[in-house]
Chains A and B, each alone.
Chain A
């Protein structure tokens, strides 16, 4: 597949589990454990897709999204928000800021997340 995903998530457990499963699918994972680093890596590595958590240290997910979408180098990269926040205002805010898809972690199985990622690649 030769694709690469930037996974911006501060939970080590998710980096290991979801990150590991994505890699098994033949997709390269670039990990960022905080928002600031996520923005830097997005500019530097130009991934095909970004998986973004919203509650993050050093710039939260909304700030990251705003930053990515206002920068010419990164505004075309699709962003899937993967979070546990499910208030309607958070969902609307993320979509308004340019997120492609919004997924609530607790509502999805790991396989379903992989499916969503693959669908995002096809689009």
Chain B
């Protein structure tokens, strides 16, 4: 009974409803409907009272009714607009669930089949090792997706924490290159690093910055179009340090360029080269760089290649 009561109270708790959809109170349809309803009741009462008192001059009543009706009209317009926002929020949520469940489904169905095979006692030792490696690969794939999603949710709630340390951007970049070396080798890509002398250290979160470089660099490798060269240049410009990643890969089609930093967005040509991918890498990279006080940008030409660069402030 008490549970039922709570549910009922939750249902009429407008503030809670609006908060859940991340919509401001003045944009929340339920709240606006309440205001509109109150206004209608007040209008009816006031019109009645004024009408009985100033019956000799009905123009005043007409004027008041006209003003209030216009106000209600504007309010109704805002309500319709708010419903649109609500529908959009729901659409994004549904899209999100759709994409995530699809991204999880492939490794999960791989795992389902691999584990069935592992349970078969007649498999050889080599097969067993191979299947266990597949379990590891697919588990890592899911782990990566989940950690990307967690970062995205932290970014959206503005809760991304920066553990600042004095770091050398060169060293972090070298680490990123080394962690991608086997993928680069398999993709027939050579990665070169050019660093200008006497670069100052910067104070930022090394793990986050490495994650941003990882995302940018792995894109350059994955979309390298069957091999080539990636050149990374680090230099100092005024009071900023600049890192540039130049590739000669598949490039970004012009019509896709304005969308590439949006969550879950993947370019049409990217799909042709890599079916796996969440479309979260650039969204995360940009959020990290901006949080670190820098800027991330790019230039690209389809089938010619891309240049991604970011700057980070040097604080003394």
CB contacts (< 8 Å) of A106 on chain B: these are 105, 108-109, 112
CB contacts (< 8 Å) of B130 on chain A: these are 16
Q: How many residues of B contact A (CB 8 A)?
A: 22
CB–CB A13/B275 < 8 A: no
CB contacts (< 8 Å) of B108 on chain A: these are 106
Set B106, B272, B273: member contacting A11, Cβ < 8 A: B106
B131-154: CB near A (< 8 Å → 1, else 0) gives 100100110000000000000000
Shortest Cβ distance from residue A49 to the other chain B in the assembled complex, whole angstroms? 19
CB–CB B113/A17 < 8 A: yes
Also in contact, A13 and B127, with CB within 8 A (given A21-B117, A58-B273, A110-B117): no
- Give residues of chain B (96-131) contacting chain A, Cβ–Cβ below 8 Å: 102, 105-106, 108-110, 112-114, 116-117, 127, 130-131
- Give residues of chain B (226-267) contacting chain A, Cβ–Cβ below 8 Å: none
Q: Is B6 positioned at the interface, with any CB of A under 8 Å from its CB? A: no
CB–CB A18/B113 < 8 A: yes
CB–CB A13/B117 < 8 A: no
Shortest Cβ distance from residue B188 to the other chain A in the assembled complex, whole angstroms? 15
CB–CB B114/A84 < 8 A: no
CB–CB B134/A10 < 8 A: no
Q: How many Å lie between the Cα of A11 and that of B108 in the bound state?
A: 12
Q: Is A97 positioned at the interface, with any CB of B under 8 Å from its CB? A: no
CB–CB A57/B110 < 8 A: no
Q: How many Å lie between the Cα of A14 and that of B102 in the bound state?
A: 16
CB–CB B273/A14 < 8 A: no
CB contacts (< 8 Å) of B274 on chain A: these are 57
A45-80: CB near B (< 8 Å → 1, else 0) gives 000000000011111100000000000000000000
Q: Is A28 positioned at the interface, with any CB of B under 8 Å from its CB? A: no
Q: How many residues of A contact B (CB 8 A)?
A: 22
CB–CB A57/B272 < 8 A: yes
A12-43: CB near B (< 8 Å → 1, else 0) gives 01101110110000000000000000000000
CB contacts (< 8 Å) of A10 on chain B: these are 275
Q: Is A109 positioned at the interface, with any CB of B under 8 Å from its CB? A: yes
CB–CB B272/A58 < 8 A: yes
CB–CB A13/B138 < 8 A: yes
CB–CB A16/B116 < 8 A: no
Also in contact, A84 and B102, with CB within 8 A (given A10-B275, A14-B110): yes
Set A20, A21, A56, A84: member contacting B106, Cβ < 8 A: A84
Also in contact, A14 and B105, with CB within 8 A (given A57-B273, A57-B275): no
CB–CB A13/B102 < 8 A: no
Q: Which A residues are closer than 8 A to B by beta carbons?
A: 10-11, 13-14, 16-18, 20-21, 55-60, 84-85, 105-106, 109-111
19 residue pairs from A and B, CB less than 8 Å apart: A11-B106, A13-B137, A13-B138, A16-B130, A16-B131, A16-B134, A17-B113, A18-B113, A20-B117, A21-B117, A57-B271, A57-B272, A57-B273, A57-B274, A58-B272, A60-B271, A105-B105, A110-B116, A111-B116
Given A14-B110, A14-B113, A105-B105; 8 other pairs, CB 8 A cutoff: A17-B131, A18-B113, A57-B272, A60-B271, A84-B109, A105-B113, A109-B113, A111-B116
